[in-house]
Amino acid sequence: MLHFSNFDDVACIACGITITNPAMVARLRNQAPHLSASEIAAHLAGAIANATDAAHALAWEEAQFGEGRPETQVDQEYFEELVAAWSIIATEHQIASLDACLLEAASIH
């Protein structure tokens, strides 16, 4: 499973997403002003979980069949791009780590 302690770890990926999929980044930037830091963190965490699942599915298909199905490859690429796009949004909103945001959202008051 991927674990990033800081978004600088994905900086090289995040810079490329604005070139390869600017529409995705623009769509998320339009949504971001209406979201709290914990909601942005939750979206990023969900994207990371989905990217991990897609990578595992692709690895399993490659191990079982010698290659992954095109649908699985597309899913894996899409979720990697989604992680990169949400990472950009999180960085733009000065969210340095998911830990504080997700703990804040899960705390009981």
Band of residue 109 on the pLDDT scale cut at 50, 70, 90: very low
| Distance of alpha carbon 38 from alpha carbon 65, whole angstroms | 40
Mean pLDDT of 83-90: 93
Whether 6 is in a domain gets the answer no
Residue 62: per-residue pLDDT:
97
Residue predicted with more confidence, 108 or 62: 62
List pLDDT tens digits, range 14-43.
557 677 788 999 999 999 999 999 899 999
Whether 79 is in a domain gets the answer yes
* Summary mean pLDDT of the chain: 82
Whether 47 is in a domain gets the answer yes
Mean pLDDT of 80-108: 78
Domain that holds residue 100: 12-106
| Number of domains composing the chain | 1
Q: Which of 48, 51, 39 is nearest to 106 (CA)?
A: 39
DSSP 8-state symbol, 94: T
Burial per residue of 14-36, b for 16 or more beta-carbon CB atoms within 10 angstroms, e otherwise: beebeeebeebbeebeeebeeee
Please give the structure tokens belonging to residue 100: 């504080």
CA 24, 67, 2 angle in degrees (round to 5)? 50
* Percent residues over pLDDT 70 in the chain: 73
Whether 3 is in a domain gets the answer no
